[in-house]
Structure 1
Amino acid sequence: MSSNGTDLTIGFVSSSVAVLLFGSNFVPLKKYDTGDGMFLQWVLCAAIWLIAVVVNLILHCPKFWPFAMVGGCIWATGNIAVVPIIKTIGLGLGILIWGSFNTLTGWASSRFGWFGMDAEEVAKPVLNYVGAGLSVVSAFIFLFIKSEIPNNMRSVDTTPLMTDHVINNTQDSCPDCSWVDKLSTTQQRTVGCSLAVISGILYGSTFVPIIYIKDHSKRNDSIYAGASQYGFLSGVLWAIATCCWLIANHDLSAVVSFPIITAGPGFIAAMWGVFIFKEIQGLHNYLLMIFAFFIILTGALCTAFSKI
Structure 2
Amino acid sequence: MCNSTANIHFVYGIAANLFAVLLYGSNLVHIKKVETGDGMFFQWVNCAGIWAVSLVGNLLLNSPKFYPLAMLGGVIWATGNVAVVTILKAIGLSLGILIWGSASLLMGWASSRFGWFGISAQDVSRPLLNYCGAGLCMLSGMIFFYVKADVEPHPSSDSIPLLLNGRTSSGNYGPNFSEFWMDAQGPKTRRFIGCLLAVVVGLMYGSTFVPILYIKNHSSCHDSIFYGASMYDLDYVYAQGCGIFLASTVYFVVYCAAMNNKPKVYPQVILPGLLSGLMWALATYCWFLANNYLSSVITFPIVTAGYSLVAALWGSLIFREIKGLFNCVLLFFGTCVVVVGSVLTAFSKY
Q: What TM-score do you get using the length of structure 2 for normalisation?
A: 0.82
2:331 to 273, 276, 289: 289
Give the aligned residue type for 1:181.
D
Equivalent residue runs for 1:43-62 within 5 Å: 43-62=45-64
SS at match of 2:25: helix
Determine if contact 1:252/1:307 at 8 Å carries over to the other structure: no
2:94 to 92, 95, 99: 92
- Corresponding position of 2:220: 218
Determine if contact 1:88/1:180 at 8 Å carries over to the other structure: yes
CA offset at residue 28 of structure 1?
A: 1.5
The answer to whether structure 1 residue 209 and structure 2 residue 211 are counterparts is yes
- Corresponding position of 1:235: 240
State the identity %.
50
SS at match of 2:292: helix
- Corresponding position of 2:311: 269
Structure 2: runs of 5+ lacking an equivalent = 161-167, 245-279
Q: Closer, same or farther in 2 for the Cα pair 1:218/1:187, shift >3 Å?
A: same
2: CA distance between counterparts of 1:251 and 1:101?
24
- Corresponding position of 1:300: 342
Q: Deviations over 1:70-103 (max 9, x none)?
A: 0001000111110000000000000000000001
1: CA distance between counterparts of 2:328 and 2:113?
33
Give the aligned residue type for 1:247.
L
Q: Which moved more, 1:240-249 or 1:99-108?
A: 240-249
1: CA distance between counterparts of 2:185 and 2:30?
24
RMSD: 2.0
User: Size of the alignment, in residue pairs?
Assistant: 301
2: CA distance between counterparts of 1:161 and 1:180?
20
CA offset at residue 179 of structure 1?
A: 1.2
CA offset at residue 121 of structure 1?
A: 0.7
Determine if contact 2:169/2:176 at 8 Å carries over to the other structure: no
CA offset at residue 177 of structure 1?
A: 3.5
- Corresponding position of 1:257: 299
- Corresponding position of 1:36: 38
SS at match of 1:234: helix
Moved over 6 A (4+): 158-162
Q: Which moved more, 1:231-240 or 1:281-290?
A: 231-240
1: CA distance between counterparts of 2:205 and 2:159?
38
Q: Which moved more, 1:296-305 or 1:176-185?
A: 176-185
- Corresponding position of 2:132: 130
2: CA distance between counterparts of 1:173 and 1:41?
19
Q: Deviations over 1:85-128 (max 9, x none)?
A: 00000000000000000011000000000111011011111111
